[in-house]
Amino acid sequence: MKFFIDTANLSQIAEAQKMGVLDGVTTNPSLMAKEGITGAENIKNHYKAICDIVDGEVSAEVIATDYEGMIKEGHELAALHPQIVVKLPMIKAGIQACKYFSQQGIKTNLTLVFSAGQALLAAKAGATFVSPFIGRLDDISTDGLNLIAEIRQIYDNYGFETQILAASVRHTMHVIDCAKIGADVMTGPLSSIEGLLKHPLTDIGLEQFLADYRKGN
């Protein structure tokens, strides 16, 4: 399972990279705005800065909502760095652009996916990643994890190679449940990754080991 961090915050990205378990980064216009990164040039420079920190794939989202605009913007983003994955919205033009980029050998991530049907379309268009937003489904009393399970079944039925990127992951149990279902990737906040570390018996056990060592030394 790949671990992506879902942020545009450079220090959090560096922190996750330092842990040695980071496989990539996802961002979106809201996450860029949260870091105060505005304007096309600043956003592009920020993507390059992210690519300099991590070794893996970095999703960069197009703003255009028409096919021609997505193609132009997607090429500009892909040219920034070999690690860039072009992130496209799950609308008809996004599917068309996804098909185009997959034929060009440019990696894609279909975002804002909320149904198994949308995920099926993404796979048919050759998406590298599909991003079902599980937290936002949970927010409206719909089982986000169930969507991951449905997509897993459909992709396995036909051997689709599109990677299921569980997105809108909010906490550590989301990560564990996605791993149990077989999501290929999860993207979440740094806290969702760091939460995997925690167990009181680990802390108590370590304290005891060190206390016993100190007794004899």
User: By the criterion CB under 6 A, which residues form the site for ligand G3P?
Assistant: 6, 26, 28, 31, 133, 135-136, 167-168, 170, 187
Residue 28 C-beta: closest distance to ligand G3P, Å: 5
Annotation says 72 is catalytic: no
- Secondary structure of residue 8 in the 3-state scheme: coil
Give the residue nearest to ligand G3P (CB).
Answer: 167
Q: In this complex, which beta carbon is closest to ligand G3P, that of residue 107 or of residue 170? A: 170
Q: In this complex, which beta carbon is closest to ligand G3P, that of residue 95 or of residue 167? A: 167
Q: In this complex, which beta carbon is closest to ligand G3P, that of residue 152 or of residue 170? A: 170
Concatenating the DSSP letter of every residue in 79-90 gives HH-TTEEEEEES
Beta bridge partners of 118: none
Q: DSSP character for 196?
A: G
Residue 91 C-beta: closest distance to ligand G3P, Å: 16
Cβ neighbours of residue 46 closer than 8 Å, sequence gap 6 or more:
8, 32, 35, 37
Residue 93 C-beta: closest distance to ligand G3P, Å: 20
Residue 136 C-beta: closest distance to ligand G3P, Å: 4
Q: In this complex, which beta carbon is closest to ligand G3P, that of residue 3 or of residue 133? A: 133
Beta bridge partners of 84: 58
Cβ neighbours of residue 158 closer than 8 Å, sequence gap 6 or more:
123
Give me the catalytic one of 18, 44, 48, 87.
87
Active site residues: 87
